[in-house]
A and B are shown apart, each in its own frame.
Chain A
């Protein structure tokens, strides 16, 4: 009887903790929608999402330039970070001797622990002047922001990829080498494909961090609400928009910032669903439903 009571209490306790975290998320989402809805409603959904003028003082709340900014920064960062981190992860998981791995792994994990303001400050002091000297302009640009983001998401993608490469069963590697493959052929044709679902998870996590990053991006992106014509143009990200204007926004402008958050929310949802679908599909295709 006592045992059953204990079981009951533990089960309910776990249920309550699980449900409360879900409730907190739902409350936040509800709040964002309630606060953001008036702006979107009065300005019109299509105008809000596809409008290209953001002029709060004149009552213009089009966020398209910032959607472009966020997507541009994110994908440019991924384009640089993915190849770099995959090669680094392959080296760490398959090629580096274990003594080197013992040093590399904590170093890369430390990289993930550095606060974003430090990255931003580094970007502001070192990278922005460098870009200005190399490419002209102000140095504040989409490219500068994505370079900083690249460094920030490297550790995420690397750690997850290393773990998934190392969890590929040793038998696959053995089988491939026993057939007379070289080490590189084995990595490329057997180990990497088998680890691909995990690699995609790592990229999704990195992408999530890149989209959501605010502070470091504000410090180097230039924050101009216009369409970039090249990667050297300054851009404003959706997250930056909220952080930059929340201090003084009132009335409909205040609601419009929450509207920006709603747009960001849907963008992240769409990207996550797409990425998870890809992850699921790879898993099924590779494992025939057995992985």
Chain B
């Protein structure tokens, strides 16, 4: 079953045509990678899925995006509810300048979950799911700003899964991290895909092959090729895909 279906998506920022006729289906409980050179539109694409581009002035789109069969840009759709279902992890770890506990509890709080026991339980569960619990359980009241970059990024993942989304969008989540932290995040992605549909933007093609079942290759705002990851990397159909994955450009 497909969690997300995108049909003929065109995105403009003022006059600039950023995404051109994008069509893609993102299946349930799998990891889908988006690869492509810088400026190819993959980040813009991922940010249309939780409507984060709405914040940018001059944003305009044509075409449809369905989440579980419902068009997410319908006027009747509550953006707050949508973002609760479609969580996001950003390129640069961005914990709030609050305690570790408050960072994870934040999403629960804004969604009206105030019962202390429930919050504590969910915070612990989320930190365990994000493979961070053992490292922080004795300093939950300390500022999240004191964690390492890799720990901060796992905290951001914990914060996202605390509100139990259906989809997690990851926008180059490892680009600011060292190799060991990257491995930890990748292990985490493998664990999370059992329960969540994950879409990950990555610069790193090895990472795409390691974590994802499906891959889409973006170039100049278009999807050149998409399909099963091993197929795309072993027997690409398009010359441009082959050039990119063999390192001839990008």
A contacts, CB < 8 Å to B: 169, 171-172, 174-182, 185, 189-190, 193-194, 286-291
Q: A190-B106, A287-B97, A288-B145 are in contact. List 11 more A-B contacts (CB 8 A).
A: A175-B156, A175-B159, A176-B96, A177-B52, A177-B55, A179-B83, A179-B87, A179-B160, A290-B146, A291-B97, A291-B145
Nearest first, the 3 closest Cβ-Cβ pairs linking A and B are A288-B143, A180-B84, A171-B94
The contact sample of 8 A-B pairs, CB cut-off 8 A, is A171-B90, A172-B97, A175-B90, A175-B159, A181-B107, A181-B110, A287-B97, A291-B97
Q: How far is the CA of A179 from the CA of B102 in the complex (A)?
A: 13
Q: Which residues of A contact B55 (CB under 8 A)?
A: 174, 177
Q: How far is the CA of A288 from the CA of B136 in the complex (A)?
A: 15
**Contact, CB under 8 Å: B106 / A179:** yes
Q: How far is the CA of A185 from the CA of B50 in the complex (A)?
A: 18
**Contact, CB under 8 Å: A288 / B106:** no
A172: min CB distance to chain B, Å: 6
Contact of B87 among A178, A185, A289, A291 (CB under 8 A): A178
**Contact, CB under 8 Å: A172 / B94:** yes
Q: Which residues of B contact A193 (CB under 8 A)?
A: 97-98
**Contact, CB under 8 Å: B50 / A179:** no
The interface on chain B, measured as residues whose beta carbon lies within 8 A of the other chain's beta carbons, has a size of 32
Q: Which residues of B contact A171 (CB under 8 A)?
A: 90, 92, 94
**Contact, CB under 8 Å: A182 / B146:** no
A88: min CB distance to chain B, Å: 23
Q: Which residues of B contact A180 (CB under 8 A)?
A: 80-84, 107, 110-111, 163
**Contact, CB under 8 Å: B163 / A179:** yes
Contact of B159 among A172, A179, A182 (CB under 8 A): A179
**Contact, CB under 8 Å: A287 / B159:** no
B109 within 8 A of A: yes
B144-187: CB near A (< 8 Å → 1, else 0) gives 11100000000010011001000000000000000000000000
B156: min CB distance to chain A, Å: 7
**Contact, CB under 8 Å: B94 / A175:** yes
Q: Which residues of A contact B94 (CB under 8 A)?
A: 169, 171-172, 174-175
B91: min CB distance to chain A, Å: 9
**Contact, CB under 8 Å: A178 / B83:** yes
Contact of B97 among A182, A185, A194 (CB under 8 A): A194
Q: Which residues of A contact B160 (CB under 8 A)?
A: 178-179
B12: min CB distance to chain A, Å: 20
**Contact, CB under 8 Å: A289 / B96:** no
- B88, B110, B156, B160: most-surrounded residue (chain A CB, <10 A): B110
